[in-house]
Structure 1
Amino acid sequence: MKKLLFFPLYFLFGFHAFGQGNYEVFYTDSLLNQAEKVNSDSAKIILYFQLSDFWSERDTSKAFSYLKLAKHHFPKHTEYFQGLFHFYNAGIYFDREINKGMEEYMEAEKYLKRIHSKTAYTYRSKLWNNYGALLQRLDREEEYIEILLEYSIPFAQKAGDSIMVANDYQNIALVLMNTTDYSKAAEYYQKAIESLESFNLAHEEKLTAYVNAAKNAIYSRNFEKAKIYLDQARIQLALIPHSLYAPVYYSSAGTFYRHEDKLDSAMVNLEKGLQLAQASSDFRTESAILFEKYLVYKKMGDFKAGKEMLLQAQKFNLNTANLHDQRLHTRELAYTDSKLGNYREAFDWLDRYVMLTDSAFEEDSEIKILELEKKYKTIEKDNEILQLKSENQQQELELEKNKFTIVLLLSVTLIGILTTFFGLTLYRSKQRTIKQNQLLHKQELKSLKQKEQLKVYNAMLQGQEQERNRIARDLHDGLGGMLSGVKLKLSSIVSKESYHLTQPDMEIYKVIHQLDQSVAELRRIARNMMPESLIYTGLRPALQDLCNYLTSDKTSITFEAYNLGDHHEQSLQISIYRIVQELLNNALKHAEARNILVQCSENENTLYITVEDDGKGFDPSQHDHSQGIGLSNIKNRVQVLQGTFEISSKLGEGTTCNIEILLNEK
């Protein structure tokens, strides 16, 4: 069926042997020769209609010329051929002027509805299907489904064309599948399959129906049903191994086995589909299969091979307008590079993803602007036509009643001015609305970009904490245990040898003392990297322990906690601990303070942290942020927790840091 948005047709014979250009010449010459040889006007008309239909997508001037030749042979008073004339005329406008195409289909319906024959019912089924497809292009999917159910399918049934009925059921199922109504789509796929069961030679239609039904079952996670449909599709494919739908079958089979965790089988099927898609120059299917191979490698954990698949798939989208695929591939490349540790490349891909999202919104805005301009121009043309008509009426009526003409002209002019005024007012109002929407989109995208950057930084912080935890465990449990063991052995040796020596070997005692110091230093390092008190006793004791540990003869640190809960997630407790630790390190290192006060309190889902010292202070406006790595780390951590960070400091008067963090309600 010609020009359906969803159900594809393939030229299964002759196309590869001749090549596309030779095939066009062969096909059109064959039809022309037949048209010249036949004596029947009816046969000539049908052949010219077929030639017009062939050229409708290639050369509109030729398509119109063959329609004109067909009309030249029309017999008198024939509504049937008049209906077909408008049907094929609509086919020429189909991809170019949707409204004109819809008008022509309805004109064809006006003639064909008076004829009660199977051929007339067949054409009526086709024209209603195509009319609904045009509505679908205008994002009116529900109306398309209603037309298929109320008109196209009933007329196909009257024509006795079960294959056409099956194709219509598939179109309904595909619309429902695209809107994620998988259960309803499954019902119509089953109806399509049942309509094809009695046709032994409808292998291509059956293959397409089984493959699409399997894809729908996979989307709805009904893998048992998907396996049944794929097995049936494989039987049909064995009968038509050169079908151009074979790559889609192998792609669907690969997706099925990926979900079943049979990754070797998935890769075998995807490789077959990739080879067939490359052989038939089906670049879109080739790109889809490469992306599916990436998903298999992703599941294997082989991100290096997966990235190679993504880059190959990405090549097919660079010179196309398919922003959806470009955004999807770019986002996955960012994820893959982050897994490979290529954080710079991951950030670049993420930045490109945001740019592509920007482009998508801009494209929508441009389309809306063009539609408004078109409507505005239409209003202007209507006003011009109205004005011309008014002027013509004025000239005609001027001969009869001059007075009446003047009044009429003034009235029409006033109406035109008012219409133009209100039209311009409405247009400007819509323009302001468009600009506001564009500004809102930009703000949303900026917010999205900031959130993505925070996610990347949060992931880095979590990775750092995990690595610190691992190193701390290794130092404490591994190296610490070894050093303690060495110390015990040396002590044992000294105890045994002391019975034989008149004087103890002081060097050995020095070594044992150095081992004691090494173990203490190692435990100090491990404790700083991941304090045990935070893990085993909670945030409040850990902060108290930190303040006690950093207190010295030079600096006194006081810790105060008010209503500080111990029920928070460990990741939040670690972040708060690191923030306080960094603030204390800054105060000890730079402030030369004698007294430091640390206060932590919790009230109505808000955590408050205050660190105040009596050190030398600084001027925040003159502070060199390029050297303030500690403060930068604190600000980033607070930002990840969606909190606020304020510093109040003056030279010679100390420094106060206030932090507020909004806690999630449990």
Structure 2
Amino acid sequence: MPRPILKIGHLNHWVIALFLGIQGFPQSTEINSHKDQLKSLGKDSLTVAYYYEYGSTFENSLPDTAMYYYNMARNLSTEIKYRKGEASYASHAIEILNDQGKFRESLDLTLEALRIYEEIGTVKDLAIANLNVGSEWQYLSDFQLAAEYYLKAMKLAEEIGDKRLQRITNNNLASIFINLKEYVKGLDYANKSLIIAKELKNEYAISSSTLNIATAQLYLKEYDNALANYSEIEKIGLQINDFEVILDGWLGMADVFSAKKSIPQALDYYMKVIDFSKEKLALEYEMYAYMGISDAYVYLEDYDEAEKFIWKGIDLAQKLGSKYELKDLYLRASGLKEKTKDFQKALEYYKQYETLNDSIIGEKSITNINLLEAKFDSEKKETMINNLETEKKINQLAIQQKSSLNYLLIGAIVMVVVISFLAFRNYSHKQKLNQQRINELEKEKQLTATEAVLKGEEQERTRLAKDLHDGLGGMLSGIKYSFQTMKSDLIMTPDNQKAFARSMDMLDSSIQEMRRVAHNLMPESLVRFGLDIALEDYCKGINKSGALQINYQSIGLKDHKFEQTTAITIYRIIQELIGNTLKHAAAKNAIVQVTKSDNLLTITVEDDGKGFDIRLLNKSKGMGWINIKHRVDFLKGKLDVNSKEGNGTSVHIEFEI
């Protein structure tokens, strides 16, 4: 569904009327003659503001006319070097560009505005710019980047206490988590947004927040609640005469009826959405309606009609650049072809779905969003640290004032010394307590961020490995069994038999590759047999590949049982180090040595590769090296790297366990 974009830089209409010396605004028949009057205005920031405000009156009725005035405002801003005027162009133009599905163009404009505001803008300007960039990434289905910018906007909005911005960021984050199928979390953000919207008494804001609440309820199968909320959205849309809000209500009610298998009612609402969307050039709503209609016809087993609407949806999704919806449409197309026994086409469409799905969500998307939330929480802790430091300064001033007052009242040298001594001791004690608390909060902040990364990453690896092995693995094995059974019932020519055999070999290779990927995500030997066996298996696997010969040595590991998080972390460190050797070192041989002695665990990884200048590590932004440092820090270890060009590389790590 469309997400709200906040507009900035507008003047009130009564100011415009005074500025022009006219009553109201010209009608569409007067526009051409009015352009000459506009050209006679002065070249200053007030004129820029007027162009933007005047153009906004035509956004819904005459978008091309609105863009004409917006471009006049931007050109004048460039001419007079009014940078805020240039930045304001994005907040106006994206309203029209988004309605036309030009999300990439809108993204470029919002990023340009953000760069300008980072140099000259206020905190509110930056909050709005980050919100607009996040909205464009959400339109383009990159939810990880959208969430990053939304959380930046949230931090800035809370800093200045801007309720309207807080509502929009909460609502947009709700939409993010609903798209990621975290419906309970999405419902929580949407409810926060609705509370603020009602405080603001803004009907459009209430409808926008209610939309995400209803959508989450729909996926949670709370159909009656969802239907009531979508009906309320339609009612608000009619009251404020906003076609997008009306379409939100209709499309939501259609989805609820479809979920309840009330197909005739669902189709009626979907067709209303399509007709109204075409009238208003609302392509995204039209695309969603095609998706819903195709599902309804599949349920009715009218596969020809279903396919027709799927391809209408695919055409629009490609035109809009909406990867998230496009991959869902390809999945629908694959399922439809499977029902009609066209397995070749079903496989082709499923591959297109998988390619898009991997590029959208992938292994790191949800993990990175959880990390961003952890960063947001840790920044709140930094505020607490700053408050403690302020309190420390206030205490210091209070002590000095008290000492001076006592000196004047008592007038005795001895008493001054005694009081000063006591005050100093009290001050030192408070200072130690405050410093201790600051250090604790610093450590807590670092651990929170690191734990969010590591735990989130390993949970996702485990889930993906299980899904691959149990889900896709079982499906491929079932397909292989079906083909084997089918072979015995078919009479094939020799050429067909060869083709069938080649297909079976390809299927076996696919199953083997799937198992290899699942094993790499979460090695079964690590869970079942422990760290020592898992590392030995990993090194043997590299040796068999011929890419590198590894001599694995372990001392004192066989009888020790590591806590699972610790074992996984150590395994990933060694895996990353060997990965770096394979990618960059051009080495032939390597040594991996892991030694446990008392409470000390040491890891040494050496290779005979080309080596490098270790000063480059301080400038490295590669994820592999960053992951190694984070994991070592998480285990509170010490890391030492020795390398010279032409003399190989040695990495030594120590942990207390």
Pick the TM interval, shorter chain: 0.3 to 0.5
**Structure with bigger RCO (C-alpha 8 Å, 6+ apart):** 2
Please identify the structure whose Cα radius of gyration is greater. 1
TM-score normalised by the chain length of structure 2: 0.44
TM-score normalised by the chain length of structure 1: 0.43
